[in-house]
Amino acid sequence: MFGKREFYIVSPLSEDVYSGVKVSKDLKNIEPVEEISVDKLKKKEVWLVLDTPNFLYETVQFNFQAFVEELLRYRLRQHVSSLAFFETPFEIFYKIVDIEGQNYTISFFAIEKRNIEVYKSKLRVSGARVKGITHCIFSNFAFFKKFCSFQEELFLLVKPCLREIWFLLAGKERLDYVLSLQVDELLGISLEEFNSFLNKMKEYAYRTYQKDVEKFYILAKEFPYALEEIEKEFVRPEVNLPDGEKTLEFSQYLGALFVEPEFNFLSRKEIFFQNSMGIAEKLGILMCFFALLDFGIGSYLHWKVNQNLERLQNEVKNLQLYSQEVEQNLSPERIEFLKNVLAKEKEFLNSPRMERILLWCANRLPEGIRIEKMRIKKGPRPGSYTLEFQLSFPATSEMFNSFSDMLLNRFNEILQVQDRSVKFLQNKHQGNLYIRGIYRGGLS
């Protein structure tokens, strides 16, 4: 039975219609939902699983003399752009899967922004609480890792869906290679087509790892599309859930709850906002209760306030008299001294204290930045301060200009820039930045 502790995991059939499952929080109750309109998801917790085949998923290697996250993002974007795979702006999500010395192995997923935003905005406008967005390649893999028993180092998952069959080559730690075979709604697929894709996965595995795929799993209760001839090659995994074999049909949905955070297409800010909205609604109900309570006892409070108003006014008058008396008893020198103390305290609180500046640098500057020199001195105006920074950072000729611009924009947050210079040292693969400006204040 379902109660308030339920949520929906859905994939889009169109911009306004979805299909998926309704699930209880303990995963004991799973109910298929063939179609549900977006307006019916109002105030519901929703996980969205995309199934578009228009994406790019790869595992690549980069060498970094000193790792800088912004440089990694830049290289990934340059790599994807060089492939000319997308015609419109795209998003990249990635995970560092291995580090050996200066060599970084990264798995990344790129998708056109519109393929995320069109559904996200529809759900948000409807009032749904979007808790996560991912792709079915990640949710199927996450389901298998979470609920299925396996020992193989290299295996193939095949997931038959309504519009395509997904081939997922994976190991214990990561999803490695993905292909999708489109299914004709009227004709289905042929054995030759299926075997062609299967052979591509086998060839990739041997070419990459010099070993054969150890086991072939199918994430489905039955093998569809009249492909019984090859069913003997595949194994249905043992699922550690009630009605385990039945839940294989919903692997792309249930796995969405366990996808690695790197491949949740919602940003941390969006996730925080959704959680905050839930808290805000509870507070709204509480405030409504107090409003009703206030209405019910309003007349009593009104009488009580009037009864105490005269007493409060007398206390204010007494405080004013006391303030005048204190001022009369203080000498002008003492008053001037106290004013100077307060001014010094204010100046100290607004000054660019070293620990505040260093904390800002740690939070706002990318890893790999080296602060060669930092100086704080009094500025040209009373109460103002000048800050100087000299930085060095690993760089290539391709990313030097954009990376330098990013750093200058960061320093504009705390400085009114008066002087700056940038220089690229080709032989050292290093960028140098000098910047000087008036401290804006505001760091605490």
Split at pLDDT 50, 70, 90, the class of 366 is confident
- Amino acid present at 404: S
The span from the CA of 109 to the CA of 385, in Å, is 46
The span from the CA of 133 to the CA of 267, in Å, is 10
**The pLDDT value given to residue 102:** 86
**pLDDT tens digits, one per residue of 405-441:** 889 988 988 899 999 999 999 888 899 999 999 998 7
Same domain, 241 and 311: no
Q: Tokens 């049909």 sit at which residue?
A: 249
Q: What is the CATH number of the domain that holds 429?
A: 3.30.70
Same domain, 342 and 358: no
- From 275, 302, 335, give the residue that closes a domain: 275
Nearest to 254 by CA among 217, 216, 219: 219
- From 275, 299, 323, give the residue that closes a domain: 275
**The pLDDT value given to residue 82:** 87
Same domain, 60 and 162: yes
Mean pLDDT in residue range 393-404: 87
| Residue % of the chain over a pLDDT of 70 | 78
91 in a structural domain: yes
**The pLDDT value given to residue 335:** 64
Split at pLDDT 50, 70, 90, the class of 186 is confident
The span from the CA of 159 to the CA of 252, in Å, is 9
412 in a structural domain: yes
What sign has the CA pseudo-torsion 410, 414, 416, 417? negative
Same domain, 134 and 21: yes
Same domain, 172 and 94: yes
pLDDT at 36 over 90: yes
DSSP result, 350-381: HS--HHHHHHHHHHHSPTT-EEEEEEEEE-SS
84 in a structural domain: yes
Split at pLDDT 50, 70, 90, the class of 316 is low
444 in a structural domain: no
Number of domains comprising the chain = 3
Structure pTM?
0.63
216 in a structural domain: yes
Task: Please give the residue range of the domain that contains residue 325.
Answer: 285-346
Same domain, 355 and 330: no
Same domain, 152 and 133: yes
Same domain, 59 and 77: yes
Same domain, 302 and 429: no
Q: Tokens 């396996």 sit at which residue?
A: 150
Same domain, 170 and 93: yes
Split at pLDDT 50, 70, 90, the class of 49 is very high
- From 275, 304, 326, give the residue that closes a domain: 275
411 in a structural domain: yes
Residue 74 near residue 64 (C-beta atoms within 8 A): no
**The pLDDT value given to residue 199:** 92
359 in a structural domain: yes
Same domain, 337 and 357: no
Same domain, 308 and 268: no
